Chain A
């Protein structure tokens, strides 16, 4: 079955460390997205990529970095510059636009906690 796989499900990080969250999709979607969810808040866009080797900052990109070397993969690195990294991170993808809009499909998320 096609889908979006995020790994690991739970991740712990010591302060001062960088950590990379994995997102892989086999839906052949061009666009991929990273969101962050905090308690009582909606999903906030961190970074997105519409095509391989290109990506754009979202609303809360500070302290994060991404790469898009392959269509299937869009890893997110949470750097030590991110002051409040504890959150639930969600990866999504969407097919290219055609006659109709298409919804985003989401992975099951990674919960990052600081030790």
Chain B
């Protein structure tokens, strides 16, 4: 039962354009969502997060949008740079005190930004 899904295995974008990575979830208890970036043979690096009380969060070139009614979130990267080429994972957690911090991850989307 895949509670967090990234339906696009890969995305190719031209440098300077916008990259949009999508993520869907099924568990309505999720209230905290994160995006991680991962290079091969390295651990994921935290990029940006959003709480369910918000619908948008920005950090520099990165913006995360949350549509709770659709159970959908997206990560926008503007402008895209070749160094953004990596695997991007979305993740979600539910507000269980006992299991704080426990994340459920999507399958990942490979982003390639062409010069």
Enumerate chain A interface residues (CB-CB to B < 8 A): 4, 6, 9, 31, 33, 35, 40-45, 48, 50, 56, 58, 88, 90, 92, 94, 96-97, 100-109, 111
Are A104 and B46 closer than 8 Å at their CB atoms?
yes
**Chain B nearest CB: distance from A63 CB in Å?**
20
In the complex, whether B85 has a CB less than 8 A from a CB of chain A is no
- Give 16 A-B pairs besides A50-B101, A90-B44 with Cβ atoms closer than 8 angstroms: A9-B41, A35-B105, A41-B107, A42-B108, A43-B91, A50-B98, A58-B102, A88-B41, A94-B101, A97-B97, A97-B100, A101-B32, A101-B49, A103-B34, A104-B101, A109-B41
Enumerate chain B interface residues (CB-CB to A < 8 A): 4, 6, 9, 32, 34, 36, 41-46, 49, 51, 89, 91, 93, 97-108
Residues of A within 8 Å of B4, CB to CB, are: 42
Q: How far is the CA of A50 from the CA of B101 in the complex (A)?
A: 9
27 contacts between A and B (CB under 8 A): A4-B43, A6-B43, A9-B41, A33-B101, A33-B103, A40-B107, A41-B108, A42-B89, A42-B106, A42-B108, A43-B44, A43-B89, A43-B91, A45-B102, A50-B99, A56-B99, A58-B102, A96-B100, A97-B101, A101-B51, A101-B93, A102-B101, A103-B34, A104-B103, A108-B41, A108-B42, A111-B41
